[in-house]
Amino acid sequence: MGHLKTRAFFLSLLALVFCHDLFGQDTLKTESNKLAFLDQIDQRKWRVKVPIWVPGFRGTFAYAGVSQLPEGGDYNVIDRLDGEIGVTFYLIGDVRFKPNKWLFAVNGFHTTLASNLKFENIDKIEFPAAIDGTILTGLVGYQVFEKTNADTYFKAQIHPYAGFRYVDLHIYSENSNIIDLDPDWFEPLVGVNILVNHRRWFFTGVLDVGGFSINNHWSGFASLEASYRFSKLFALGAGWSYLEFNYDQDFEFKYLNLNIGLSGPVLAVEFNF
């Protein structure tokens, strides 16, 4: 497995070099008028980003409990999920459209989370467990601040935004039908996107919160990223992302409480059109 990851990593780097050579004619001309250099970047309204989660992207259950809801009796009897989780498969996409002062974006991923996750029933018997998850985010933002300095090729923008987050989970025991739950929910979110551009470098910070305890749900997302624009079309970036969400609700005759956090480094290939 380790050899496959290493081979895939180097193949990705070769593909990036090939893309750089292929689109080298689509260059950003830094010797031209300084303001025109910044305008060259703004001409590209669409950005398609394909993140590559660096091996080691991990998460943990801060708490996960499943309580039976008996007709009458002890509500404190709790079956527990416990352990570390890691990404074993993923499909990730991120598309952004930025016309004038508006910002529209859709991003998300589907993954299987598994490591040493265990489910312990009320008889203290442990079963191996796993989670399949799909998380999608859609947002609309509007630019409220811009600062440009053509002499230093500098530009900064701030876009507050509002949108939604959709979480769809499948929680199951791997070798039995002891637990098999499919919670899913939508939640509103608000956040801010900060972009700082200096010459070919782009620095992006994103922070949002969602759920607002509606139906006992809440979530939070934060990321920092730096990318380098090789041409008008092509950029390569690296950063760190963190996502945490809560779910707390009666579900299929059970009371389910989840608190899941995922974080890790990110490599991203960007194409701008």
Residue 26 placed within a domain: no
Instruction: Find the CATH number of the domain harbouring 116.
Output: 2.40.128.90
Q: What are phi and psi of 42, to 5 degrees?
A: -70, -20
Give the tens place of pLDDT for each residue, 174-215.
777 777 888 889 999 999 999 999 888 999 999 999 998 877
Q: Within a domain: residue 265?
A: yes
The answer to whether residue 172 sits within a structural domain is: yes
Helix (H, G, I), strand (E, B) or coil at 31: coil
Q: Quick: pLDDT tens for 167-181.
A: 998 888 777 777 788
Say if residue 125 is exposed, middle or buried (CB neighbours under 10 Å; 0-12, 13-18, 19+): exposed
| pTM assigned to the model | 0.77
Is residue 32 in a domain? Answer: no
The residues with which 259 forms a beta bridge, in sequence order, are 63, 246
Asked which of 66-80, 147-161, 184-198 is least confident by mean pLDDT, the reply is 66-80
Domain assignment present for 24? no
- Residue range(s) defining the domain that contains residue 211: 37-272
Structural domains of the chain, count: 1
Does 23 map to a domain? no
Q: How far is CA 72 from the centre of its chain?
A: 42
Encoding tokens for residue 13? 């780097």
pLDDT at 272: 87
Query: Has residue 12 been placed in a domain?
Result: no
Q: What are phi and psi of 32, to 5 degrees?
A: -80, 180
Q: Residue 51 CA to chain centroid, in angstroms?
A: 9
Whole-number pLDDT of residue 2: 45
Residue 7 lies in a domain: no
Short-list 203, 206, 165, CA closest to 186? 165
